[in-house]
Amino acid sequence: MARFYQYEESEAPMTAAHDSGRAVTAAVLEALGVFYQHMPNVDDVDKLAVERGYANRDHIKLDKSTPGLTDKLDVFFQEHLHDDEEIRYITKGSGYFDVRGAHDEWIRCEVGPGDMLILPQGIFHRFTLTQQMYVEATRLFQDEPKWVAIARSPDGNADRASRREYLASL
Ligand code: KMT
Ligand code: NI
């Protein structure tokens, strides 16, 4: 089951828990447009995919044997947004998705097997592994995945349509 909390900055590596001890509720995440559900039954994933029109999916595995893992993780951990939702269903292992809260603070979402997390388009976020250093996940998408990572710019990507739409949706 997932766990959500305020991220505590420290010198510890990104894969450390960075747990401030301050929990964040599912309602707070919902207000940010983040969808979370524990779905141990894969049938529920298929049902959600039909309801939301996610016709396509692929699979990603990251562990210590992944070629270029360090570089990949560095990219995933750069703060960014996408012009599409980021839909991830964790099947094995664990990971941390950090999303920006209402006051631009980091909220850490620790996810594990059976967790479905959907980040809305335009939300600033990043990803890393936990110290388990292992995750497998299904990535769902509607058509062509638009997962180009748009780095956060000094003005917070204020002119980008997906960002403007996201802010308007809050
Ligand atoms: C992403 O887009 O950040 C990823 O696909 C990370 C791995 S999904 C567990
Ligand atoms: Ni992303």
DSSP 103-147: TS-EEEEEE-TTEEEEEPTT--EEEEE-TT-EEEEEEEESSS---
Give the pLDDT of residue 144: 80
Q: What is the DSSP code (8-state) at residue 152? A: P
Q: Report how far Cα 22 is from the mean position of its chain's Cα atoms.
A: 19
Gap between the Cα atoms of 156 and 97, Å rounded? 19
- Give me the mean pLDDT over the 131-137 stretch: 98
Best residue among 116, 127, 147, 148 to mutate for probing ligand 1, ranked by most atoms within 8 Å of CB = 127
d(CA 111, ligand 1 centre) in Å:
12
Q: How many residues does the chain have?
A: 170
Q: Is 131 exposed, middle or buried (0-12, 13-18, 19+ CB in 10 A)?
A: exposed
Question: pTM for the whole thing?
Answer: 0.96
Ligand 1 nearest-atom number relative to CA 111: 9
Ligand 1 nearest-atom number relative to CA 97: 3
Would you place residue 60 in the very low, low, confident or very high pLDDT band (cuts 50, 70, 90)? very high
Give the pLDDT of residue 124: 98
- Give me the mean pLDDT over the 11-30 stretch: 97
Q: Are 41 and 91 in contact (CB under 8 A)?
A: no
Which ligand is the nearest neighbour of the Cα of 80? 2
Gap between the Cα atoms of 4 and 18, Å rounded? 11
d(CA 164, ligand 1 centre) in Å:
23
Residue nearest to atom 6 of ligand 1 (CA): 127
Would you place residue 147 in the very low, low, confident or very high pLDDT band (cuts 50, 70, 90)? confident
Q: Are 124 and 82 in contact (CB under 8 A)?
A: no
Ligand 1 nearest-atom number relative to CA 82: 2
Would you place residue 131 in the very low, low, confident or very high pLDDT band (cuts 50, 70, 90)? very high
